[in-house]
Amino acid sequence: MPTSAGVEACLPIGSDLDLVWVRQHVRQAAARLGFGLVEQTKLVTAASELARNTLVHGGGGRMDSAQVTRGRAVGLRLAFSDDGPGIADLELALKDGYTSGGGLGMGLGGARRLVHEFSLESTVGVGTTVTVVSWASAPPRLREEF
């Protein structure tokens, strides 16, 4: 039976070393909630992308992780927030290949494809919060859409 111990956390994102910490925490939390290896790897990779965005574009911030349940499904919610410059054009930022930081431009859009639920809130000059949810097994039926 998965428990929420070790899943709830708020981790600072201020350096490359913090990214390692974020990845390890997400991997352990996902494993604890019963994620399969593929889902674990996908969520950890998405977390790595988003945490790096928080660091590079947002100038640092934090990640909050929490367990979520819907019916019998168990999932992990990760929220990455920063007080950085914000994103002016959300459509453009999510577009594959667009980058403002010298990367491949796959991070944000790629992360969206790696998780089950993805939401992006950003206000120019105030900051950005990206919240993602992945479910341990198949996503709950009421949201299934292909």
- Give me the least distance between CB of 131 and another protein, in Å please: 19
Where does residue 108 rank: exposed (0-12), middle (13-18), buried (19+ CB within 10 A)? buried
Q: Which stretch binds another protein (CB under 8 A): 5-13, 40-48, 63-71, 86-94?
A: 40-48
Distance CA 35, CA 129 (A): 24
Is 92 among the residues that bind another protein (CB under 8 A)? Answer: no
For the record, the structure tokens of 42 come out as 């996908």
For the record, the structure tokens of 40 come out as 């674990």
Contacts with another protein by CB under 8 A: the residue count is: 25
Distance CA 117, CA 80 (A): 14
Question: At what angle are helices 37-56 and 107-114 packed, to 10 degrees?
Answer: 150
Is 27 among the residues that bind another protein (CB under 8 A)? Answer: yes
Is 113 among the residues that bind another protein (CB under 8 A)? Answer: yes
Contact residue for another protein among 1, 3, 5, 16 (CB under 8 A): 16
Strands 61-70 and 73-82: antiparallel
- Give me the least distance between CB of 16 and another protein, in Å please: 5
Q: Which residues of this chain interact with another protein, rule CB under 8 A?
A: 16, 19-20, 23, 27, 37-38, 40-42, 44-45, 48-49, 52, 96, 103-104, 106-107, 109-111, 113-114
